[in-house]
Structure 1
Amino acid sequence: MIISLRRLGRKALACVCALACLVSLAACGSDEEAGKIRIGIKFDQPGLGFKKSGTYVGFDVDVARYVARQLGYSEDQIIWKEAPSKQREAMLQNGDVDMILATYSITDARKNAVSFAGPYFVAGQDLLVRKDDTSINGPEDLNGKRLCSVTGSTSATTVKEKFANEVQLMEQPGYAECATALFSGIVDAVTTDDIILAGLASASRGKLRVVGKPFTQEYYGVGIKKGDKEFARKINAAINGMIEDGAWQRAVTDNTKGTGYKPNAQYNPPKAKEGE
């Protein structure tokens, strides 16, 4: 019995030590993030949110930096976190990030789980095809075609709702995978927002082209924790300031250079007032 109790004692001590280590690590993680802002972005969208050699570039990144600066954070006080489409709501609800700028369309369904500030951009869903493919010139040519979009995106939802009986939809975790499927002939087109497709076309070095016939309006918002109206007001003030001082237009131009892409002037630049 004595040996048994000693063994139990050693096991209990080991458990306590393990727990202490975990608490210590968690505390260290909290200390590292103290006084900083955690921003979710995409890591795989050229022209919008792209991780390149340890740096982060793109239109969403430029907007996020501007907003963070207006909120009082310097560049070295930003912690960038990858925010895949299907994980965005959970990341905000769990407190993993303070805000998300990741081509995050404002929808009523999403507002059941999170809140938004913005919009900071209005895109339109379009199609990306191989440069030499002349069979697809708009959504009217999708009958019998194979499309790729990203799991959890509004683009995938739109295809299911509008073209379910016409197309075969392949869903992938990211747009890089969709572009690879298009290159290899596994799918006939990639569908998502036009500004995302412009970035992919630019990265393809002329091998892919955007059809140029958008068929939706996607209002990009800044995802935040549900109900935080004061935070939404501060973010909206920063976005509107970015538009007024010309930094917004410079960011659009710099990140779509060489693609021929121009935002729809009927909707851009937008007025940020969501979530107040």
Structure 2
Amino acid sequence: MPSLSLRVAGAVALAIALPFAATACGGGGDENSIVIGTKFDQPGLGLKNPDGTMSGFDVDVAKYVANELGYGEDQIEWKESPSGQRETLIQNDQVKFIAATYSITDSRKEKVSFAGPYLVTGQSLLVRADNTDITGADSLQNNKKLCSVSGSTPAQRIKDQYPGVQLQQYDTYSACVEALKNGAIDAVTTDEVILAGYAAQSPGAFKIVGEPFSEERYGIGLKKDDTELCNQISDAIKKMEDEGAWKAAWDKNLGPAGVEAPAPPALDPC
């Protein structure tokens, strides 16, 4: 049986180790890092490059916010955040916050809180460049095969407003775009800014058609009712806009797609 001194030493060591273990499991990583959720497959917004680096407008917004919170780029751990998993990742403390083309909606606000919006866009359609019979949302009703992502706002809007469409739901927009490329589906729907990134990635292969038929307000998702963090993120977004870093991030990531930088939207109170 261990001596009393050994048992006391072991208990002290365990007491010291436990707080560090608990911290490392939280959404912020350990005290020297932060876990941020974003998309890994959306060119121009959130993309994991072949060399492992991250790029895109959402990524640059997240980096700026993290820096304002006291974390350098080398202290960020990126967590892939598919549309259908975002609330769960936040609720389970797997991320500190998520910047991933995350539309602010009333139903989502029941589960998580949002800082922002930092961008307003609208739902649109991407088709093959030689397509002539899809001109907008109403032309989809004729048994067209349309692809969107499970758990996304655009997919739900199609279900609610365009019941005559054959909606195919995939896990990622990149899978939808691949299906569009090989002719398995007729169109892809999501926010125009996302579609523009894919169109720019494959010049001449696709085109965006029709006018946007929704308003999507992108926010940064975080733990519900964490007002302190929400205010810190909102202050960072405002500073990014005021300093010109917001427009610079847009021009770098989405300018090549030929999409003009919009005016930054007014921020909601936390």
Q: Which residue matches 1:257?
A: 255
Counterpart contact for 1:233–1:273, Cα < 8 Å: no
Q: Which residue type is aligned with residue 156 of structure 1?
A: A
Q: Which residue type is aligned with residue 161 of structure 1?
A: D
Counterpart contact for 1:48–1:255, Cα < 8 Å: yes
CA distance in 1, matches of 2:251, 2:46: 15
Query: What aligned pairs does 1:88-167 form with structure 2 within 5 A after superposition?
Result: 88-144=86-142, 145-164=144-163, 166-167=164-165
One of 176, 179, 182 as aligned partner of 1:181: 179
* Residues 200-233 of structure 1, C-alpha deviations (whole Å, 9 max, x = no match): 1011222011115101010000000000111111
Q: Which residue matches 2:24?
A: 30
CA distance in 2, matches of 1:67, 1:27: 25
Identity across the alignment (%):
51
Question: Which secondary structure does the structure 2 equivalent of 1:109 belong to?
Answer: helix
CA distance in 1, matches of 2:94, 2:198: 28
Q: Which residue type is aligned with residue 150 of structure 1?
A: V
One of 222, 235, 238 as aligned partner of 1:237: 235
Q: TM-score, normalised by structure 2?
A: 0.88
1:187 deviation in Å? 0.8
Q: Which shifted more, 188-197 or 247-256?
A: 247-256
CA distance in 2, matches of 1:258, 1:101: 21
Gaps of 5+ in 2: 1-13
The count of residues paired between Structure 1 and Structure 2 equals 249
Query: What aligned pairs does 1:33-72 form with structure 2 within 5 A after superposition?
Result: 33-52=30-49, 53-72=51-70
CA distance in 2, matches of 1:218, 1:93: 23
Query: What aligned pairs does 1:177-216 form with structure 2 within 5 A after superposition?
Result: 177-216=175-214
Q: Which residue matches 1:270?
A: 265
CA distance in 1, matches of 2:204, 2:167: 25
Q: Which shifted more, 31-40 or 167-176?
A: 31-40
CA distance in 2, matches of 1:149, 1:252: 24
Give the 3 Å change call, closer, same or farther, for CA 29–183 of structure 1 in structure 2: farther
1:78 deviation in Å? 0.9
* Residues 75-109 of structure 1, C-alpha deviations (whole Å, 9 max, x = no match): 11111110111110010000000000000000000
1:28 deviation in Å? 9.8
Q: TM-score, normalised by structure 1?
A: 0.86
Counterpart contact for 2:36–2:62, Cα < 8 Å: yes
